[in-house]
């Protein structure tokens, strides 16, 4: 099953590069009233997505960045080429590796007059084991802090949707690498999943980034299901795959000759990949809880949809809620 999933994942990258040209995002008149947040928006996919959103006339863009000076420079470039007014883009600080920073950002964002979309683009790919906030760094940034931000903003997203009639979208980039994720660390045993992932003696760091993308799929599927059934109102949460792109995400390996050849043959430009993220941000209710590829809903790996995957999904989700509850008491009650 693992070999077939890996082949499917690689096949989707090759097919996307060879046969698919992603559509350039189209706007609509409602965007002029909307407020959208893009994290990690000073570079790479986040920057290109923000360029598209500015071109489409989004009323207010919040560029959420770790270093505000870099965000200010990116803002200047986007304003210069789009001709938008200076007030249409704001730069706010956020460090997705720091829970207090995420909380502070979410508190500020909750005071916005409305919130129509969040592109949680900021992410990390490293094969070097280190802890931050007591958690392995990939896991902390790509999963725990991302869903901390989601739950902290969920009340505001629901409120905004009820007021405006426009369901807020929360978008987390994914990857076809989730098909190749090593799942041994998820198999039930004598440790919680989170504890195994945070154990330097057991961590499979070569496969950690793909595994975090798999965990994102588990979480968004479960969050979508539970928020829809809660009766508290909902927003749309989905996870689009921009495919392999020429960006700085894989900076640890991009200097190798093999990687450069692979990139030249199969990688999309960062601009083209960002189209998939903007599509996810503007997608309809049919995208809720879904993995998207080439701007359409696609079934994720068998280790998501099969019986084993469904069991792991629930187990991991409960552990994730426990972790988030430790970070922010009573946060799980908003689900």
Taken in order 126, 10, 194, 281, the sign of the CA dihedral is positive
Given 99, 150, 209, 218, the catalytic residue: 209
Residue 40 to residue 9: CA distance in whole angstroms: 26
Residues with Cβ within 8 Å of residue 237, at least 6 apart in sequence: 150, 169, 170, 171, 172, 220, 223, 224, 227, 288, 289
3-state secondary structure 275-298: HHHHHHHHCCHHHCCCEEECCEEC
Pair 314, 217: CB distance under 8 Å: no
Pair 213, 178: CB distance under 8 Å: yes
Distance of CA 260 to the CA centre of its chain: 25
Given 213, 218, 225, 246, the catalytic residue: 213
Residue 202 is a catalytic residue: no
Closest CA relative to residue 174, chosen from 332, 78, 287: 287
Residue 150 is a catalytic residue: no
Taken in order 232, 166, 218, 171, the sign of the CA dihedral is negative
Active site residues: 209, 213
């Amino acid at each position: 099953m693992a070999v077939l999933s890996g082949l499917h994942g690689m096949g989707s990258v090759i097919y996307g590069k060879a046969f698919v040209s992603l559509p350039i995002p189209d706007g609509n008149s409602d965007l002029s009233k909307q407020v959208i947040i893009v994290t990690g928006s000073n570079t790479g996919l986040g920057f290109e997505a923000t360029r598209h959103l500015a071109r489409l006339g989004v009323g207010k863009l919040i560029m959420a960045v770790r270093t505000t000076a870099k965000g200010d420079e990116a803002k200047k470039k986007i304003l210069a080429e789009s001709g938008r007014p200076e007030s249409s883009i704001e730069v706010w600080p956020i460090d997705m590796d720091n829970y207090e920073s995420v909380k502070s950002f979410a508190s500020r964002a909750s005071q916005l007059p409305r919130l129509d979309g969040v592109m949680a683009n900021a992410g990390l790919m490293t094969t070097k084991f280190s802890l931050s906030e007591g958690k392995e760094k990939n896991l902390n940034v790509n999963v725990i802090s991302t869903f901390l931000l989601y739950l902290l903003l969920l009340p505001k997203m629901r409120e905004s949707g009820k007021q405006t009639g426009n369901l807020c979208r929360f978008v987390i980039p994914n990857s076809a690498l989730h098909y190749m994720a090593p799942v041994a660390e998820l198999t039930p045993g004598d440790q919680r999943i989170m504890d195994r992932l945070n154990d330097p003696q057991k961590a499979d760091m070569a496969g950690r980034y793909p595994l975090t993308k798999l965990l994102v799929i588990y979480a968004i599927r479960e969050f979508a299901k539970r928020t829809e059934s809660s009766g508290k109102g909902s927003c749309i949460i989905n996870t689009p795959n921009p495919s392999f792109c020429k960006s700085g995400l894989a900076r640890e390996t991009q200097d190798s000759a093999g990687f450069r050849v692979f990139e030249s043959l199969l990688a999309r430009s960062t601009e083209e990949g960002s189209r998939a993220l903007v599509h996810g941000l503007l997608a309809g209710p049919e995208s809720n809880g879904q993995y998207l590829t080439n701007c359409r809903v696609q079934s994720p790996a068998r280790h998501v949809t099969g019986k084993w995957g469904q069991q792991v999904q629930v187990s991991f989700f409960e552990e994730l809620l426990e972790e988030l509850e430790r970070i922010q008491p009573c946060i799980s009650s908003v689900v």
